[in-house]
Chain A
């Protein structure tokens, strides 16, 4: 599924033009992106939570050469799917 397909599904449900729908879907993801970039969590009930985690620097290795190197401290995004979503996904099998 691509963003275009999401737009298509949303378009069928709301009474806006295609162009307006595209802009609004973009707005939703822009807001989520900016919120996460500010370090704030985004929690979507029934879907999952996005959270920015601070990682400390650590020693690692280049998997190709085996050379030891320092992996710098960084902020990473983690997604934790909702329990309901996981449950439903495994019920349908």
Chain B
């Protein structure tokens, strides 16, 4: 599911015009993006939390050429799944049939 599909589902489920659903979804992820960029932690009950991980500089290699380079320190947003969602995902699809039904 991509963002536009999410917007369509929200419009349908909340019974609001597509335009409002789009604004809603954009505002939510816009706010979350800003929080991440400000180094803020995001905590969503029943879903999970986002926090940045800080990595120090290290000596790395270009895997293709083998040339040694200095990798600069960096921050990476990290998501930790919440208990409720973790259990729901591990339980698998609610619909009939178990296990691997990958599409795409």
Interface residues of A (CB under 8 A from B): 1-3, 5-6, 9-10, 13-14, 16, 23-25, 27-29, 31-33, 35-48, 50, 52, 54, 74-77, 79, 81, 85-86, 88-90, 92-93
**Chain B residue contacts of A89, Cβ below 8 A:** 36-37, 52, 75-77
- A3: chain B residues within 8 A (beta carbon): 44-45
Which 3 interchain pairs have the tightest Cβ spacing?
A: A79-B79, A9-B31, A1-B35
B96 proximity list for chain A (CB < 8 A): none
Count of residues in B whose CB is under 8 Å from the partner chain: 56
- Closest approach, in angstroms, between the C-beta of B79 and any C-beta of chain A? 3
In the bound complex, what is the Cα–Cα distance between A47 and B40 (angstroms)? 15
Please tell me which one of the listed residues B24, B43, B75 contacts residue A10 in the complex, with CB atoms under 8 A apart: B24
Residues of chain B whose beta carbon lies under 8 Å from any beta carbon of chain A:
1-3, 6, 9-10, 13-14, 16, 20, 23-25, 27-33, 35-37, 40-48, 52, 73-79, 81, 85-86, 88-95, 100-104
Provide the residues of chain B in CB contact with A35, threshold 8 Å: 1
For the complex, what is the distance from the CA of A24 to the CA of B2, rounded to whole Å? 18
A residues less than 8 Å from B77 (CB atoms)? 48, 79, 81, 85-86, 89
Q: How far is the CA of A42 from the CA of B48 in the complex (A)?
A: 15
Known: A1-B42, A13-B23. A28 touches B10 (CB 8 A): yes
Q: Across the interface, do B13 and A31 meet the contact criterion of CB distance under 8 Å?
A: yes
Q: Which residues of B contact A88 (CB under 8 A)?
A: 37
Alpha-carbon separation in the docked complex, A2 to B6 (Å): 21
- State A28–B27 Cα separation when bound (angstroms): 11
- How far is it, in angstroms, between the C-alpha of A41 and the C-alpha of B102 when the chains are bound? 10
